[in-house]
Amino acid sequence: MINYDRRSFFPLKKKINTTDISSLIFQHVLDKKFTNIFEILDLSSLRKLRKNSVIFSNNNLLPSESKNINFLLITDNFKLFKNNTYKNIILVKNLSHVYNLILNAIFIHEDNINDKIKYKSVNDSYLCDQSLIDKSANIGINCVIGRGVIIGKNCIIKNNVVIKNSILGDNVVISDNTTIGSTGFGFNINNMGSKNLSPQLGIVVINDNVHIGSNCTIDRGKIDETIIGQNCMLDNLIHIGHNVIIGKNVCIAAQTGISGSVIIGDNVIIGGQVGMTGHITIGNNVKIAAKSGVTKSIPNNMTVAGFPAVNINEWKRNIIKIKKWK
Amino acid sequence: MINYDRRSFFPLKKKINTTDISSLIFQHVLDKKFTNIFEILDLSSLRKLRKNSVIFSNNNLLPSESKNINFLLITDNFKLFKNNTYKNIILVKNLSHVYNLILNAIFIHEDNINDKIKYKSVNDSYLCDQSLIDKSANIGINCVIGRGVIIGKNCIIKNNVVIKNSILGDNVVISDNTTIGSTGFGFNINNMGSKNLSPQLGIVVINDNVHIGSNCTIDRGKIDETIIGQNCMLDNLIHIGHNVIIGKNVCIAAQTGISGSVIIGDNVIIGGQVGMTGHITIGNNVKIAAKSGVTKSIPNNMTVAGFPAVNINEWKRNIIKIKKWK
Amino acid sequence: MINYDRRSFFPLKKKINTTDISSLIFQHVLDKKFTNIFEILDLSSLRKLRKNSVIFSNNNLLPSESKNINFLLITDNFKLFKNNTYKNIILVKNLSHVYNLILNAIFIHEDNINDKIKYKSVNDSYLCDQSLIDKSANIGINCVIGRGVIIGKNCIIKNNVVIKNSILGDNVVISDNTTIGSTGFGFNINNMGSKNLSPQLGIVVINDNVHIGSNCTIDRGKIDETIIGQNCMLDNLIHIGHNVIIGKNVCIAAQTGISGSVIIGDNVIIGGQVGMTGHITIGNNVKIAAKSGVTKSIPNNMTVAGFPAVNINEWKRNIIKIKKWK
């Protein structure tokens, strides 16, 4: 498990406490309940509750450690508000809008016009002062290494690579023209426009010995992490959406796209030009044939093909059926 | 409607008038008729006739305002030549070759070997002197902003982005490693090779509040504009071909490709890895499921899926049919 | 046929002879037979045997000129070892591991941490001292031109382009953000991780008058060449895998991916978002409809569509069949 301080990637704009937040969104507040006042320093997700954080939820599935930590819950769920579990809670209308409003007020991020990062030019690449790059790493030409980025031992970053909001382990190779840690594609479909993109305040974690090809895009998590497990091999022109978690020893061929919040197990082999619906889970040792469109979760050890992807033998039978029919 | 001077993107090589053009292509001229002589300063399409322009057509569907404007029509259609509607007309053989010959003689463009643009280095990006970038815009590292480009207020251009031959409105976000305004993929299929690419002398217009992801390619129009409407949200690794016109509030998921001259209405939602045949029209409020291959125009409000894309309910029924058959 | 010295792209790390190699891999050697000792300067494939080279094979299909050339054969095939055809041969276990071990010991390449290339900055691009760029070529901004690269007359290399381990003919156009000559995606599927990528020591050869779009990736060969034939036209976001050989006058639309070792004939037209299985052969004058998934070789003059791709008329019949069935 990676430990990091969100603020090293997304600095705070100013000191802000729970009362300030209530004032900031007063137009949207239906009711509120405060037990104590504390400074907001972080952001929590339903996956992980963090100290002195704000968390947004329309249901009550908060993580179990919630009792010992100061957090402010913001919800549009009246039942959640009514029960007496939460010490500090605000009931709002239009939760997704309030999410954007608060997080843009708290955090500096790259989709804010005022996020101007200072770089130093080193060997014809641009490294942010606040990045931490191991001396053994080999950084190519015209790269941009953003604020907070950590790059481990013996990494090879080729040319024209952009790495932001990311932590890389050892022996990671990133090939040319690839973009790591850019904005996830998250917003309310009924309220589009660049200014309505939900702030994406998570990061990308790339574990040891991962190889990533050329012209790929790996988006950072919305609140938590997009994770690529040890020894994964990614080919060119691959898209990995926000919050995706990929296990160890996963091989992904060119031009495949993994939608947001997909979870992939260990030892999975994925062909080229595969697509996946968001929020599904792919088991361990699964094999996915090229050009498959995976629309639902796949259990361990299965081999699938086609669109919608089914057991590969069923897919083959279907092709023969169609051929034979008159 | 955007007004711009084509020459700010594609400067004239030299003064050239209608008689010069006739001389230039004399080997290909079958017949000609001149009423007056004028300088050629622009290029027209069947969509829009422009003053002092040359226009190429193999049919007679010229725009209605044609009578009050000086233009030179070049055609390979004998019937068009014979009727007496046009004051200045040249009948040629091999129209596509003549198109290339004339436009390469008139205009400087980036597929000419002699188009060497001068840039100034500003904050580690390269901006052409003749570009017009609002002071509030935030331009990242290693970007290239080409001749004539206009960038509006509060735009965020991330890193390693190339923008050429384009006009951007306000609040536009372009993510890393994306290419805007490069050459459209237009040529005579019987006459390939880099030197036979039809000069692409249009531009890209990106309206206010558009968000474009990482590693995308948006090609400029051939004569007119490739247009992205207000509030559109584009994910990563998307391809938009030349002359495509996209309405407002359109959402496009990763790795989708829109072929040349497609017209897309407002409020359209397009999944990932979708492909479209060129020259089709997608109505308002259409939804296109991921991985669809859209081969013909779609009326308003329809939801489609599959390849060839059909009504999504029909697509689902087909899948069940195939599963059940023996 | 292109002639080049592999060492101009991949310099030797140190002098190494056949005996040194035997020592290097002693843990994996089962048996060996040496007739003479010579220095290893090159690498051979089953397609082409080169002087003073090492060659890896698990079968005996060596090229016919093998008798007049000094080469060291390394194999895991006992029968191959037993017959007396080869003057210098080592029998090993774990051939793919031995391949990596030897080639990483002999050659410097970009996936070695110690491969730090020196560049000079010319017109805001970075050119390796050992590259050979014709004076008439027009190199854009922020490009990286690697060691050994040769660029012919009147080539146009746009902006943010990376070209490594490649030879370009005349009049080649490479559009923005494209990556040429990066690492092929080759490794033993049972032994993943960035350090286990098989060294890719081949190059890319792009012949005269080729046009390549924006944000494409063309991987170099593993041992021999990835070849793009004269007059080929490639659109944007295309992936060409290692060892692919493409004939003349081939047109490839956007977002298509060609897997490793595919051979494509002349005058082939390939639609957008097509995928191909590796190691197949596409005949001359073949047409492949958009979104096809080509899983086996296609004879000359055929037009295919669908996934798996079949004769386009059969594909159309299948669609009608499914529609009609109840």
Do the first three CATH levels of C6-106 and C120-319 match, i.e. the same topology? no
Helix (H) or strand (E) holding B269, with range, is: strand B269-270
Chain C neighbours among B 148-207 (CB < 8 Å)? Answer: 160, 162, 164, 177-179, 182-183, 185, 187, 189, 192-195, 197
Q: State how far the Cα of B224 lies from the Cα of B221, in Å rounded to an integer.
A: 5
Rg (CA), chain C: 22
Task: Enumerate the residues of chain C whose CB falls inside 8 A of the CB of residue B115.
Answer: 138
Task: Produce one character per residue of B145-182: b if its CB has 16 or more CB atoms within 10 Å, e if not.
Answer: bbbbbbbbebbbbbbbbbbbbbbbbbbbbbbbbbbbbb
Q: Does B30 touch chain A (CB under 8 A)?
A: no
Average pLDDT over residues B296-314: 97
Q: Does C60 touch chain A (CB under 8 A)?
A: no
pLDDT in tens, B57-70: 988 777 777 678 89
Helix (H) or strand (E) holding A18, with range, is: helix A18-24
Q: Does B230 touch chain A (CB under 8 A)?
A: yes
pLDDT in tens, A242-272: 999 999 999 999 999 999 999 999 999 999 9
Helix (H) or strand (E) holding A106, with range, is: helix A95-106
Interchain CB distance below 8 Å, A255 and C239:
yes
Interchain CB distance below 8 Å, B236 and A219:
yes
Q: Order of strands across the sheet with C287-288?
A: C138-139, C156-157, C173-174, C211-212, C233-234, C251-252, C269-270, C287-288, C303-305, C310-311
Cβ distance A57 to A98 under 8 Å? no
Q: Apex CA B254: angle with CA B253 and CA B260, to 5°?
A: 85
Average pLDDT over residues C138-167: 97
Q: Does C257 touch chain B (CB under 8 A)?
A: no
pLDDT in tens, A164-204: 999 999 999 999 999 999 999 999 999 999 999 999 999 99
Give the pLDDT band of residue B313 (cuts 50, 70, 90): very high
Residue type, A321: K
pLDDT for C232 equals 98
Q: State how far the Cα of C12 lies from the Cα of C7, in Å rounded to an integer.
A: 6
Give the pLDDT band of residue B1 (cuts 50, 70, 90): low
Task: Show which residues of A are catalytic.
Answer: 242
Q: Phi-psi category of A279—alpha, beta or left, where left has phi over 0 and alpha has psi -120 to 50?
A: left
Mutation target vs A (from C165, C178, C179; most A CBs, 10 A cutoff): C179
B114 pLDDT above the threshold of 90: no
Chain B neighbours among C 291-320 (CB < 8 Å)? Answer: 291, 319
Task: Report how many Cβ contacts below 8 Å link chain A to chain B.
Answer: 142
pTM (predicted TM-score): 0.97
Interchain CB distance below 8 Å, B185 and C160:
no
Q: How far is A282 from chain B (nearest CA, A)?
A: 18
Cβ distance A274 to A293 under 8 Å? yes
All partners of chain C with 3 or more CB pairs under 8 angstroms: A, B
pLDDT in tens, B243-262: 999 999 999 999 999 999 99
Interchain CB distance below 8 Å, A189 and B251:
yes
CATH number of A120-319: 2.160.10.10
Nearest residue of A to residue C236, measured between CA atoms: A237
Average pLDDT taken over every residue of chain B: 95
A1 pLDDT above the threshold of 70: no
CATH 3.30.230.10 given to domain C6-106: no
Among candidates A231, A232, A254 on the partner chain, residue whose Cβ is nearest the Cβ of C257:
A254
Interchain CB distance below 8 Å, C175 and B179:
yes
Question: Own/partner pairs for A117-121, CB < 8 Å, 24+ apart?
Answer: A117/A146, A117/A147, A119/A144, A119/B124, A119/B141, A121/B124
pLDDT for C1 equals 63
CB count, 10 Å around CB of A320?
9
ipTM rounded to 2 decimals: 0.96
Which residues, at least 6 apart from A28, have a Cβ–Cβ distance to it below 8 Å?
A92, A93, A94, A97, A98, A101
All partners of chain A with 3 or more CB pairs under 8 angstroms: B, C
Q: How far is A110 from chain B (nearest CA, A)?
A: 8
Nearest residue of A to residue C237, measured between CA atoms: A237
A67 pLDDT above the threshold of 80: no
Domain range list for chain B: 6-106, 120-319
Q: How far is B217 from chain C (nearest CA, A)?
A: 7
Q: Does A233 touch chain C (CB under 8 A)?
A: yes
pLDDT in tens, A119-128: 998 888 999 9
pLDDT in tens, A201-241: 999 999 999 999 999 999 999 999 999 999 999 999 999 99
Cβ distance A205 to A220 under 8 Å? no
Interchain CB distance below 8 Å, B113 and C215:
no
Cβ distance B159 to B143 under 8 Å? yes
Give the pLDDT band of residue B234 (cuts 50, 70, 90): very high
Interchain CB distance below 8 Å, B254 and A273:
no
Residue type, A253: A
Q: How far is A126 from chain B (nearest CA, A)?
A: 8
Task: Show which residues of B are catalytic.
Answer: 242
Give the pLDDT band of residue B51 (cuts 50, 70, 90): very high
Which tokens belong to B73? Answer: 């029509």
